Amino acid sequence: MEDKRITKRLNLKGVAEKLGVSTATVSNAFNRPDQLSKNLREKILSEASRLGYHGPNLAARSLRRGRSDVIGVMLSDSLTYSFSDPMANQMLQGISEVLMEYNKQLLLFYEGKDNTAQSSAESLPDGFIFYGSSNLETFKRIVALGKPCVTIDYVQDKIPSVGIDDRSAAKKIAMHAISQVNHGTVAILGMKLVVSDRVCRLTQDDLDEKSVEISRQRLLGYFDAVTENDLTIPPESIWSVPFNTEKYAKIAAKEAFSSSLHPNIILCMSDVIALAAISTAQSMGLNVPKDVIIVGFDDISEAKHASPSLTTVCQQNAQKGKVAAKMLLENNLTNCILETKLVVRQSSSPTN
């Protein structure tokens, strides 16, 4: 019978008691301004705030309303990796811009060892945005919740998605690169082309694999350009970088430059990879772009500042997040393909 909690946290009921009104009235003050006089409402709000009550408890409120005003974003890798990835950051910028506008909160989810641990939290958000290729099990589990979902850079049947035309963008930049030299010997530094945690070259079997992953689309785009120029790329000229980081990219780049292929065109599936390739080339005594042309994909901010500056494909990454969030919040669930732009800079201009 003792009072366990000396100071029990103030709740809506407590506020109602202290102000001598009913709980319904306080609730209405917060949620339905039209249900009470303006005077009373303002008095309640200011008094409540003075008492230290700043709004209904989220857990209770969303339990009751079946809505939390929280949006979940599922990042396709660990949070730690995602925050280090410029692309993910730009995308999150776009999402958050819209969420701020709509007064929604952002709950971040991630792929982890134990993906059941967070499944409890999956019940909270009113909707989800998936960024990148998610774990299929997790993806299905969340979609099965029946809440609105949008994917970014990840295509799944019946789920609205936001992305770019990776194949044609890849073709575009490859065409440009090939046009810059007389005799092109092409190598590709791709991203996550095969399932492995290590840098590795592809084999013929890998090429035959069908997949809708964006990396595959980019690969097809490169092939389109190569074929159109009567060139070929054997699988040994294609590297798969497991993570979009400088470290892994350098390993791949070093292998490419040390190989007997002597490529003079390196098509990279990300700017991070391309920048690492430039730096690797330079440290091996190669001149970019005179000895080797290197192009990227994404147009991250470093691309412009690098030396030589990087030729790449500009994709409106923040816009992706913005569009996805808007689709979710305005319940306008449809597919959206954003435009890309070829940005020619020094790394592909040997004649200057």
CB of 61 to a copy of itself, least distance (A): 7
Instruction: Pick one of 21, 26, 124, 214: the residue that binds a copy of itself (CB under 8 A).
Output: 124
Report the distance separating Cα 161 and Cα 165, nearest Å.
12
Q: What is the CA radius of gyration of the chain?
A: 26
Number of other CB atoms surrounding residue 183 within 10 Å: 7
Chosen residue from 3, 50, 66, 352 binding DNA by CB under 7 A? 66
Q: State in angstroms the smallest separation of the CB of 33 from DNA.
A: 10
Residue from the set 21, 186, 292, 300 that interacts with DNA by CB under 7 A: 21
Q: Which of 33, 46, 59, 209 binds a copy of itself (CB under 8 A)?
A: 59
Contact 298, 249 (CB under 8 A): no
Distance CA 118, CA 129 (A): 16
**Contact yes or no for 271/299 (Cβ under 8 A):** yes
State the Cα–Cα distance between residues 315 and 232, nearest whole angstrom: 27
Of 31 and 283, the one with the shorter C-beta distance to DNA is 31
Question: Min. distance of Cβ 192 from DNA in angstroms?
Answer: 36
Asked if residue 84 binds a copy of itself (CB under 8 A), the reply is: yes
In order, the DSSP letters of 271-319 are: HHHHHHHHHHHHHTT--TTTT-EEE-SB--HHHHHSSSPPBEEEE-HHH
* 51 is an interface residue for a copy of itself by CB under 8 A: no
Among positions 27, 28, 76, 96, the unique one binding a copy of itself when judged by CB under 8 A: 96
The site for a copy of itself, by CB under 8 A, has a size of: 58
- d(C-alpha 283, C-alpha 126), whole Å: 50
Other CB atoms within 10 A of residue 123 CB: 12
Binding mask 226-265 for a copy of itself (x = CB under 8 A): --------------------x-------------------
Residue with tokens 């044609």: 168
Among 21, 92, 188, 252, indicate the residue that binds a copy of itself (CB under 8 A).
92
Q: Is 79 in the site for a copy of itself (CB under 8 A)?
A: yes
Which among 337, 289, 279, 344 has a CA at the least distance from the CA of 313? 344
**Residue 46, number of CB atoms within 10 A of its CB:** 10
- Give the position of tokens 């990087």: 310
Residues 27-46 that bind DNA (CB under 7 A): 27-28, 30-32, 34-37, 40
- Binding partner of 252, given a copy of itself, DNA, none, CB within 5-8 angstroms per partner class: none
Say whether 186 sits in a helix, a strand or coil: strand
* Partner whose footprint covers residue 118, from DNA, a copy of itself, none (CB < 5 to 8 Å by kind): a copy of itself
For residue 332, give the DSSP letter.
-
- At 225, list the tokens: 């350009």
Q: What number of residues does the chain have?
A: 352
Give the nearer residue to a copy of itself in terms of CB position, either 104 or 192: 104
User: Does 305 engage in binding with DNA (CB under 7 A)?
Assistant: no
Q: Which residues here bind DNA, judged by CB under 7 A?
A: 8-9, 11-13, 20-25, 27-28, 30-32, 34-37, 40, 56-57, 60-61, 63-66
Binding site for a copy of itself (CB under 8 A): 9, 52, 54-63, 68-70, 78-80, 83-84, 89-90, 92-93, 96-97, 99-100, 103, 105-110, 112, 114, 116-124, 141, 144-146, 246, 275, 279, 301-302, 305-307
